[in-house]
Copies of this chain bind each other. A is one copy, B any other.
């Protein structure tokens, strides 16, 4: 971890700041190449805010540039920041990520603080025509620890799903196809849970992380689709952006982007087959 400046680090000119600035530049170039190579075959990008935050200000700058570029290319931009707070603080996060000047179309949020923590985010979605993806059942092994605890005859994540239904059930947030702008994060690694959550949320967009590197297969993802086989955004991170690692040779130059395109096409085909 020590190679990054983080938040509150030394000022421009220090060795670590300059290293982080250089890293942020390279990541920005990498992102630009990837977006150029896949923008025609993917619907959205989901930058992990943490990876930019750890580079301090140069990282935030790189994130902003990447989000703007993705948006210019017609992609939906989901800021994966997993924010969550109360009152005026939640309002400030909503302003940061969903406000009129933000390049994000949607934000991931954590539900642990309950409805009054969510309201400022919902208000921002109404005002700026943005969306949320609320963590319901995450893709990690320890997700079960709290999210699966039984409360009044159902797992906690089902209770959270009911809250998501309530938060999203607002005419100002529901679009032409009957889906709400308030979506749910449902890990690809848990198909049984995904089916249960889909039963609670028939007209909610699911953001499905965990495809690829985390072990989720296309058929697992399909467990989260609607009965008409849509309504889900399947996310792959490492299996796409680091696809060059699995290529027959470690590619130079922009070839890593070609490897990502090949992996993205395969992912698309697998998901289409699973949705048949």
Contact = CB atoms under 8 A, between A and B. Distances in A.
Interface string A44-63: 00001011011011001101
A64 B117 contact: no
A113 B143 contact: yes
B51 A57 contact: no
Size bin of chain A's contact surface: 35 or more
A89 interface: yes
Copies of the polypeptide in the assembly: 2
A268 B68 CA distance: 47
B102 A117 contact: no
B53 A93 contact: yes
Contact of A7 (B63, B100, B115, B135): B63
A252 to B, nearest CB: 25
Interface stretch (A150-158, A220-228, A259-267): A150-158
A49 B165 CA distance: 29
B93 A54 contact: yes
A97 B146 contact: no
A105 B37 CA distance: 42
Nearest to A127: B1
A74 interface: no
A186 interface: no
B82 A51 contact: no
A273 interface: no
Contacts of A151: 149-151, 156
5 contacts: A1-B94, A8-B67, A9-B102, A54-B93, A113-B140
